[in-house]
Amino acid sequence: MSTRTLDGWRLAVGTLTVFRVAPPQRVDRDTARTAALLAPVAFAPAAVLAAGAAGLLAMVVPGTVAALLAVGLVAWLTRAIHLDGLADTADGLGSGRPAPRALEIMRRGDVGPMGVVTLVVVLGLQVASAAVLLERGWGWLAVALALCAGRGALVIAARRGVPAARPDGLGTVFASSVPLAAGATLWAVLAVPLALGAWLAGASWWLGPLAAAVGAALAWYLVRAATRRLGGITGDVLGAAVEVATTGVLIVLAAG
């Protein structure tokens, strides 16, 4: 494994999960690009742990209870950083303030009403969708694959042409680091395991590619809105894109 790949892997695991890894030797756009492309695989152990535990629990309790456990475990395994980014992004975009003021709102540690409502709605949709999947055979695997696929939103937020909204922070490292072709290829690849997961969960296989398309489209729309309102992406926008994409994938898979 090359130094760049190893650094990208360490950045992905260290940023996306609570698992301890050695820090990368370099953190630049090359490292960020590698981390974004490896994100779905880097998150796989956490996804299997959360969804697998929920799948076992679903054998003895209602699916909603098991789904709550899955969502809670994911929050713990990620330090809730994506949820924090979602809340901050909702507060910033929903404030209606000019970009500098909106960015200042996002930088604060508190959560406003827009952030609270967004968290409630998104987490509710995730729990409801996961509950449906966990009541099916192999549904836990579909949940795990959806969680991994949602991390593919990083390549959409970090695609070429999307600037950083601030001169510092995580968004600066990731901004414009992923070529469009590489990002599109990653989502095309993600559609394959999602198709398998949908089929194993008793749904039509084509729901997998549809889920990938919906998840990618939602992340793209969020990043577009953030770019137009804020002038680019921030670390919060990266996290928000992950949560939005994950929710979209889960909803489509559950619809089957």
**Residue 8 within a domain:** no
User: Residues in the chain, how many?
Assistant: 256
**Residue 3 within a domain:** no
**Residue 21 within a domain:** no
DSSP string, 109-167: SS--HHHHHHHHHHHHHHHHHHHHHHTSTTHHHHHHHHHHHHTTHHHHHTBTT--BSSS
**Residue 35 within a domain:** no
Please give the Cα distance from 215 to 244 (Å, whole number): 7
Mean model confidence pLDDT for the chain = 94
Kindly report the pTM of this predicted structure. Answer: 0.95
**Residue 23 within a domain:** no
**Residue 7 within a domain:** no
Residue 126's pLDDT is 98
Query: Which structural domain range is residue 240 located in?
Result: 43-255
pLDDT > 70: what percent of the chain? 100
| 234 has pLDDT over 70 | yes
Q: What is the CB neighbour count within 10 angstroms for residue 108?
A: 11
Residue 240's pLDDT is 97
Please give the Cα distance from 250 to 139 (Å, whole number): 11
Closest CA to 237 of 185, 144, 166: 166
Tell me the pLDDT tens digit for each residue of 154-200.
Answer: 999 999 999 999 888 888 999 999 999 999 999 999 999 999 999 99
| 1 has pLDDT over 70 | no
Reduce the DSSP state of residue 233 to 3 states and report it.
strand
Give the chain's domain count: 1
**Residue 5 within a domain:** no
Residue 231's pLDDT is 93
Tell me the pLDDT tens digit for each residue of 92-134.
Answer: 999 888 888 989 988 887 888 899 999 999 999 999 999 999 9
Residue bearing tokens 């630049």: 28
| 18 has pLDDT over 90 | yes
User: Which sign, positive or negative, has the C-alpha torsion 221, 150, 107, 121?
Assistant: positive
Average pLDDT over residues 81-86: 96
| 256 has pLDDT over 90 | no
Residue 244's pLDDT is 98
**Residue 105 within a domain:** yes
Residue 4's pLDDT is 80
